[in-house]
Amino acid sequence: NGIIKNVLLNLYFIDSVTVAVELDFPIENGIHGLYVKGFCNGLVYLADNYLDYSLLWNPTTRKHKNLPFFRPRVRNPGPILGFGYDELHDDYKVVIIDYNYSIFSRDDIEVKVYSLKSDSWTNVDYCICDEDTFFVKKSSGYCGEILIDNGSFVDGKLHWSTSSSIPGPDPNVNKGKYIIAFDLANENWEKVEKPSFGEGEVELRV
């Protein structure tokens, strides 16, 4: 049996924080359950779990912008999200990846990208379609890796960890071994393997 390793990382500030400021949170009457889904360059992206309400908020200027509403094909709680900055086009973008939990098929993935500059949503293809990444149809007897957590923005790209939370036929393969990246400028997908730490099993997350 492999050895499961848990590593705890602590974040330390070099400069001490001496002043705490209470901020007015931009929630309209009747809106509940907003969560921070991403942040970049001082902007914060907030949304509820069903994406009925989402906004971009600048805590410094206290201004916010409601995102245009759209209803996903499948109404799942907690779709995969990401928020970052497209330097090439000087634009902030939100990425939403949604799918049908009951089917778990790569053929039923919906990807939407919101552009702050155009204030609109567009459809984007999820084009990493090999059998190791995302979903293979459940009827085939094998399910590949799934994206987990909200995306981390680094160097113009959003990055998601993968996890094999759905067991496949071989327990020794597909143990969350990839990082999936989405380039906000050219809207292309990339896949890289996570670092290897030798023997045993280590589950890393972005």
pLDDT (average), residues 27-46: 81
The model's pTM = 0.75
**From edge to edge, which strands make up the β-sheet containing 91-98?**
80-86, 91-98, 110-115, 120-123
pLDDT (average), residues 39-48: 92
Distance (Å, whole) CA 124 – CA 42: 26
114 touches 104 (CB < 8 A):
no
Domain boundaries, the chain: 35-193
| 12-46 residues labelled b (16+ CB within 10 A) or e (exposed) | eeeeeeeeeeeeeebeeeeeeebeebbbbeebbbb
Distance (Å, whole) CA 144 – CA 79: 18
Query: Which residues face 115 on adjacent strands?
Result: 93, 120
Q: What is the CATH architecture of 35-193? A: 4 Propeller (2.110)
Q: Is the pLDDT of residue 147 over 60?
A: yes
Residue whose C-alpha is closest to residue 80's, from 39, 52, 49: 49
Comparing 68 with 204, the larger pLDDT belongs to 68
Q: For tokens 């916010």, what's the residue?
A: 64
Distance (Å, whole) CA 59 – CA 61: 6
Label residue 75 exposed, middle or buried (CB < 10 Å: 0-12, 13-18, 19+).
exposed
pLDDT digits (tens, 9 = 90+) for 70-115: 777 666 666 789 999 999 999 999 999 887 665 555 566 788 999 9
3-state secondary structure of 100: coil
Distance (Å, whole) CA 144 – CA 206: 19
Instruction: Give first-to-last CA distance, the chain, whole Å.
Output: 25
Comparing 36 with 185, the larger pLDDT belongs to 185
